[in-house]
Protein backbone atom coordinates (compact mmCIF):
# COMPACT_ATOMS: atom_id res chain seq x y z
CA UNK A 1 0.00 0.00 0.00
CA UNK A 2 1.44 3.36 -1.03
CA UNK A 3 0.68 6.02 1.55
CA UNK A 4 0.73 8.75 -1.07
CA UNK A 5 -2.22 7.08 -2.77
CA UNK A 6 -4.35 7.24 0.39
CA UNK A 7 -6.64 10.11 1.33
CA UNK A 8 -5.20 12.99 3.34
CA UNK A 9 -7.39 11.96 6.27
CA UNK A 10 -6.21 8.33 6.12
CA UNK A 11 -2.57 9.40 6.08
CA UNK A 12 -3.01 11.80 9.01
CA UNK A 13 -4.83 9.16 11.05
CA UNK A 14 -2.10 6.62 10.25
CA UNK A 15 0.53 9.05 11.50
CA UNK A 16 -1.52 9.58 14.67
CA UNK A 17 -1.90 5.86 15.35
CA UNK A 18 0.25 4.00 17.89
CA UNK A 19 2.35 2.38 15.16
CA UNK A 20 5.97 3.17 14.18
CA UNK A 21 5.16 4.12 10.59
CA UNK A 22 4.43 6.43 8.91
CA UNK A 23 6.35 8.82 11.13
CA UNK A 24 8.45 11.93 11.14
CA UNK A 25 10.47 11.12 8.05
CA UNK A 26 7.35 10.58 5.95
CA UNK A 27 5.80 13.79 7.27
CA UNK A 28 8.98 15.68 6.37
CA UNK A 29 8.82 14.25 2.85
CA UNK A 30 5.20 15.32 2.55
CA UNK A 31 6.20 18.81 3.67
CA UNK A 32 8.80 18.92 0.90
CA UNK A 33 6.22 17.81 -1.66
CA UNK A 34 3.68 20.37 -0.42
CA UNK A 35 6.19 23.21 -0.57
CA UNK A 36 7.23 22.22 -4.08
CA UNK A 37 3.59 22.00 -5.16
CA UNK A 38 2.92 25.57 -4.02
CA UNK A 39 6.01 26.81 -5.82
CA UNK A 40 5.03 24.92 -8.98
CA UNK A 41 1.61 26.61 -8.89
CA UNK A 42 3.31 29.99 -8.53
CA UNK A 43 5.54 29.29 -11.52
CA UNK A 44 2.70 28.07 -13.73
CA UNK A 45 0.43 31.01 -12.95
CA UNK A 46 3.25 33.50 -13.35
CA UNK A 47 3.99 32.03 -16.78
CA UNK A 48 0.45 32.97 -17.85
CA UNK A 49 0.31 36.51 -16.48
CA UNK A 50 0.91 39.67 -18.51
CA UNK A 51 1.91 41.32 -15.23
CA UNK A 52 5.13 39.29 -15.28
CA UNK A 53 8.12 40.45 -17.34
CA UNK A 54 8.25 38.65 -20.73
CA UNK A 55 11.65 37.07 -20.12
CA UNK A 56 10.42 35.51 -16.88
CA UNK A 57 7.13 34.44 -18.43
CA UNK A 58 9.23 32.51 -20.93
CA UNK A 59 11.37 30.97 -18.19
CA UNK A 60 8.65 29.98 -15.75
CA UNK A 61 7.34 26.89 -17.64
CA UNK A 62 10.77 25.23 -17.51
CA UNK A 63 11.09 26.24 -13.86
CA UNK A 64 7.69 24.68 -13.12
CA UNK A 65 8.77 21.44 -14.81
CA UNK A 66 11.92 21.28 -12.69
CA UNK A 67 9.96 21.91 -9.50
CA UNK A 68 7.46 19.22 -10.49
CA UNK A 69 10.34 16.75 -10.48
CA UNK A 70 11.19 17.69 -6.89
CA UNK A 71 7.54 17.33 -5.91
CA UNK A 72 7.21 13.86 -7.43
CA UNK A 73 10.46 12.65 -5.88
CA UNK A 74 9.39 13.94 -2.46
CA UNK A 75 6.10 12.06 -2.76
CA UNK A 76 8.02 8.87 -3.52
CA UNK A 77 10.15 9.45 -0.42
CA UNK A 78 7.03 9.45 1.79
CA UNK A 79 6.78 5.71 1.21
CA UNK A 80 10.51 5.08 0.95
CA UNK A 81 10.91 6.39 4.48
CA UNK A 82 8.33 3.90 5.74
CA UNK A 83 10.08 1.07 3.91
CA UNK A 84 13.49 2.11 5.21
CA UNK A 85 12.40 2.21 8.85
CA UNK A 86 10.57 -1.11 8.54
CA UNK A 87 13.79 -2.61 7.13
CA UNK A 88 15.61 -1.49 10.28
CA UNK A 89 12.98 -3.17 12.44
CA UNK A 90 13.26 -6.35 10.37
CA UNK A 91 17.06 -6.35 10.68
CA UNK A 92 16.77 -6.08 14.46
CA UNK A 93 14.54 -9.16 14.48
CA UNK A 94 17.18 -11.35 12.86
CA UNK A 95 18.38 -14.31 14.97
CA UNK A 96 21.52 -13.89 17.04
CA UNK A 97 22.08 -17.33 18.48
CA UNK A 98 25.40 -18.04 16.78
CA UNK A 99 28.40 -15.82 16.17
CA UNK A 100 27.71 -15.89 12.45
CA UNK A 101 24.12 -14.87 13.00
CA UNK A 102 25.17 -12.04 15.29
CA UNK A 103 27.65 -10.75 12.72
CA UNK A 104 25.04 -10.96 9.95
CA UNK A 105 22.51 -9.14 12.12
CA UNK A 106 24.95 -6.33 12.94
CA UNK A 107 25.72 -5.83 9.26
CA UNK A 108 22.02 -5.91 8.34
CA UNK A 109 21.24 -3.28 10.96
CA UNK A 110 24.11 -1.11 9.76
CA UNK A 111 23.00 -1.28 6.12
CA UNK A 112 19.34 -0.66 6.96
CA UNK A 113 20.17 2.23 9.28
CA UNK A 114 22.29 3.90 6.63
CA UNK A 115 19.36 3.62 4.22
CA UNK A 116 17.04 4.99 6.90
CA UNK A 117 19.36 7.98 7.23
CA UNK A 118 19.76 8.39 3.48
CA UNK A 119 16.05 8.82 2.77
CA UNK A 120 15.48 11.86 5.01
CA UNK A 121 18.81 13.26 3.86
CA UNK A 122 17.45 13.29 0.33
CA UNK A 123 14.28 14.91 1.65
CA UNK A 124 16.44 17.60 3.27
CA UNK A 125 18.28 18.21 0.00
CA UNK A 126 14.98 18.60 -1.84
CA UNK A 127 13.87 21.12 0.78
CA UNK A 128 17.08 23.07 0.17
CA UNK A 129 16.28 23.23 -3.54
CA UNK A 130 12.79 24.54 -2.77
CA UNK A 131 14.17 27.14 -0.34
CA UNK A 132 16.67 28.40 -2.87
CA UNK A 133 14.07 28.49 -5.64
CA UNK A 134 11.70 30.50 -3.44
CA UNK A 135 14.43 33.05 -2.85
CA UNK A 136 15.27 33.22 -6.54
CA UNK A 137 11.74 33.36 -7.92
CA UNK A 138 9.78 35.57 -5.54
CA UNK A 139 10.98 38.88 -7.09
CA UNK A 140 9.97 37.82 -10.61
CA UNK A 141 6.52 36.21 -10.48
CA UNK A 142 3.06 37.39 -9.59
CA UNK A 143 3.18 39.75 -6.63
CA UNK A 144 -0.35 38.70 -5.66
CA UNK A 145 0.98 35.18 -4.98
CA UNK A 146 3.72 36.34 -2.62
CA UNK A 147 2.05 34.60 0.35
CA UNK A 148 2.04 31.27 -1.52
CA UNK A 149 5.79 31.51 -2.05
CA UNK A 150 6.26 32.52 1.58
CA UNK A 151 4.22 29.50 2.65
CA UNK A 152 6.31 27.23 0.43
CA UNK A 153 9.45 28.68 1.98
CA UNK A 154 8.29 28.24 5.57
CA UNK A 155 7.08 24.68 4.96
CA UNK A 156 10.31 23.75 3.17
CA UNK A 157 12.36 25.24 6.01
CA UNK A 158 10.37 23.23 8.57
CA UNK A 159 10.66 20.12 6.40
CA UNK A 160 14.41 20.64 6.19
CA UNK A 161 14.77 20.86 9.98
CA UNK A 162 12.51 17.82 10.44
CA UNK A 163 14.36 15.75 7.88
CA UNK A 164 17.70 16.58 9.49
CA UNK A 165 16.36 15.45 12.86
CA UNK A 166 15.49 12.10 11.29
CA UNK A 167 18.94 11.79 9.74
CA UNK A 168 20.57 12.58 13.07
CA UNK A 169 18.66 10.02 15.10
CA UNK A 170 19.64 7.29 12.63
CA UNK A 171 23.30 8.30 12.61
CA UNK A 172 23.33 8.22 16.42
CA UNK A 173 22.79 4.46 16.22
CA UNK A 174 25.97 3.90 14.22
CA UNK A 175 29.65 3.99 15.05
CA UNK A 176 31.27 7.01 13.36
CA UNK A 177 33.47 4.71 11.29
CA UNK A 178 30.36 3.01 9.88
CA UNK A 179 29.07 6.24 8.30
CA UNK A 180 30.39 6.84 4.75
CA UNK A 181 32.23 10.11 4.37
CA UNK A 182 30.01 11.13 1.47
CA UNK A 183 26.87 10.83 3.56
CA UNK A 184 28.45 12.79 6.41
CA UNK A 185 29.57 15.53 4.00
CA UNK A 186 26.07 15.85 2.53
CA UNK A 187 24.57 15.98 6.02
CA UNK A 188 26.90 18.76 7.16
CA UNK A 189 26.27 20.76 3.98
CA UNK A 190 22.51 20.64 4.51
CA UNK A 191 22.89 21.54 8.19
CA UNK A 192 24.88 24.61 7.23
CA UNK A 193 22.23 25.59 4.70
CA UNK A 194 19.55 25.43 7.38
CA UNK A 195 21.64 27.52 9.76
CA UNK A 196 22.08 30.17 7.07
CA UNK A 197 18.46 30.18 5.85
CA UNK A 198 16.66 33.36 6.95
CA UNK A 199 13.61 32.68 9.10
CA UNK A 200 11.60 35.09 6.93
CA UNK A 201 11.74 34.94 3.14
CA UNK A 202 11.24 38.69 2.77
CA UNK A 203 13.58 39.65 5.58
**Preceding omega of 182 cis (within 30 degrees of 0):** no
Contact (Cβ atoms closer than 8 angstroms) between residue 190 and residue 125: yes
Q: Which pTM value belongs to this model?
A: 0.95
What sign results for the dihedral spanned by CA atoms 37, 49, 141, 133?
Answer: positive
Non-local (6+) Cβ contacts of 135 within 8 A are 153, 201
Rounded to 5°, the CA angle 104-188-26 comes to: 65
pLDDT digits (tens, 9 = 90+) for 57-87: 999 999 999 999 999 999 999 999 999 999 9
pLDDT digits (tens, 9 = 90+) for 188-197: 999 999 999 9
pLDDT digits (tens, 9 = 90+) for 40-50: 999 999 999 99
- Look up residue 139 and give its DSSP letter: T
Contact (Cβ atoms closer than 8 angstroms) between residue 164 and residue 53: no
- pLDDT of 203 reads 63
- pLDDT of 173 reads 86
| Domains of the chain, CATH where assigned | 29-196 (1.20.120.680)
Amino acid sequence: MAWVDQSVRDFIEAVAAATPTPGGGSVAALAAASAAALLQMYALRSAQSPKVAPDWRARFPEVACRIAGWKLRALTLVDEDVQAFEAVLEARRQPQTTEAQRAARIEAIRAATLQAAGVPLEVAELCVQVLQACQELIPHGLASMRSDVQTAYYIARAGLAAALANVAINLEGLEPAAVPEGLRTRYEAVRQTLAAAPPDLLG
